[in-house]
Copies of this chain bind each other. A is one copy, B any other.
Amino acid sequence: MSKRSLFVLLSLAFAASCEQASAPPEPVADTPTRPTFSLATDEAYDFNRIPAYLESHQAVYDYIDNNLDDHLAAIQRWLRQPSISAQNVGIHEMAEMVRQDLEDMGFAEAEIVPTDGHPGVWGYYDAGADKTLVVYLMYDVQPVNPEDWRSPPFDAEVVNHPLGKVIMARGATNQKGPQRAFLNALESIIAVDGTLPVNIMVTAEGEEELGSPNYPQIVDAYEDRLKTADAALFPFNSQRPDGTVSVILGVKGILYFEVIASGGEWGGPARAEIHGSFKAIVDSPVWRLVQGLSTLVSEDGNTILVPNYYDDIRPPNVEESQLINAGIEQWSDQQMQAMLGVGQWIDGKTGKDAAIEYLFSTTLNIDGIWGGYTGEGVKTILPHRAAAKVDSRLPPDIDPDEALAKIRQHLDNQGFGDLEIVKLSGYPASQTSVDAPAVQAALSVFKKYTGNLAVQPRIAGSAPFYQFTDRLGLPLVPSGMGFGTGAHAPNEIMLVEPAKGTAAAGLADIEKAYVDFVYALAE
């Protein structure tokens, strides 16, 4: 049975209490103002109440220690197979490698899943267990510029690093390393026990780096069965070098669209750019774009002026407030601003105020804008077309299509019906309760290996995790022990053997923690 019901009950309960405790958004008659939020409680979440996982599976741990070279080799085998989705390099070979590995491990079902894009992989391990874990895998990686790498990106050599021995390769940490480590953990349990304590459903996609456009098709094919599972895991190197395990419980949704201005019957050049001197008698699509966009936000760019855009935003509930109170010490304006190269936050906010704004507010951001001549020097044209890419980050309870409809209506009302809107992406927020049993199981395991937990109710970024939480009704644990860095960059690494003084786990402990998590989930 799904955990969804518990999750929903918890969420509803918290939402109900917060409505009384927090300051509501301040509505103003004509000009929208940006809502400000306060927390529902001053209490901090008490992680002490979560016991460290006490069980020991010594035979499995020994198996891992005795076979660590083979486990490392399995990771290297995955990393040495290029699988660059954007360039269609090695995709089918990698999909088949994943499928074959599952079959070799004893998965009763191990199938390639055709999609409109790169194929997916489905696997089902039937342990005859009560509980079932859905494991999300991505087998694709980002492109590389090999000349920028210290060790060739598909050699997957173990090299020395200040933190210890690391595997350097494209995909080392994003995500082949931690994913194959998780499968190593499963293999070890099977080798010792002959089976697993939970059933496993694997959904693997080869287009995560392209924005997962066809992942929903993979879910489509197994939706009824996936809904019967108990939890979902995204194996992930979530540790920081100091050993702290970062657990992200939620993400914002996103609406992403283009606003396009073109010449047409209303005026402006329709076919192609024309000589700039015609501006004297010809309308300009670029000016229309600029004027239309300018009506969407306040002069400082920070308050959305689309009527009712903020209406459905809710303030932090009790659980979220407790988690923020527990984690706010780790929020450093100074460090973040230095990292980002930003002089100050909007309106000079700092500390908890900035953190709440960051996590709970919706946004309207121009990702890109273009039109006409953008090269060096002088060229005088009146462009026939200009466009902007705009995104809006959506906190829980905001529907992307409703948000888009409000923007369309606003532009129409302001006289910008000539501006075209093309939606490129849109999905809602996703959140798992810290009290979901799968999350509690993970946290208890992490506490066994390290004292430090950093649990966030949400990040301000977006991921289509609603596929798990909302569509399938599963709590999602996008976490694991282990440290890696360099995703999407040269010299990507995953730590496999920490040096003295490095608190993050090595490969053996990463796998042992996954072993514990699977057993904990079964309880």
Listed in ascending order, the chain A residues whose CB lies under 8 Å from chain B are 4-5, 8-9, 211, 252, 254, 256, 263-272, 274-284, 286-291, 293-294, 297, 299-302, 340-346, 349, 354, 357-359, 361-375, 377-384, 386, 389, 391, 393, 415, 424-425, 459-462
Contacts and interface: CB of A to CB of B under 8 A. Distances in A.
A211 B378 contact: yes
A280 B357 contact: yes
Copies of this chain per assembly: 2
A358 B280 CA distance: 5
A411 to B, nearest CB: 12
A366 B383 contact: yes
A4 B381 CA distance: 12
Given A275-B5, A294-B294, A363-B280, A263 B369 contact: no
Nearest to A8: B275
Contacts of A364: 279
Given A366-B284, A372-B369, A264 B343 contact: yes
Interface-centre pick from A267, A280, A459 (highest chain B CB count, 10 A): A280
A461 B275 contact: yes
Nearest to A289: B369
A284 B378 contact: no
Given A357-B281, A368-B379, A379-B368, A342 B290 contact: no
A291 B366 CA distance: 12
A270 B345 CA distance: 13
26 contacts: A5-B275, A8-B275, A211-B377, A254-B380, A264-B343, A267-B342, A269-B340, A270-B343, A277-B459, A277-B461, A277-B462, A279-B364, A279-B393, A280-B361, A281-B345, A281-B346, A281-B358, A282-B342, A283-B346, A299-B415, A365-B382, A367-B373, A367-B383, A369-B371, A378-B391, A378-B425
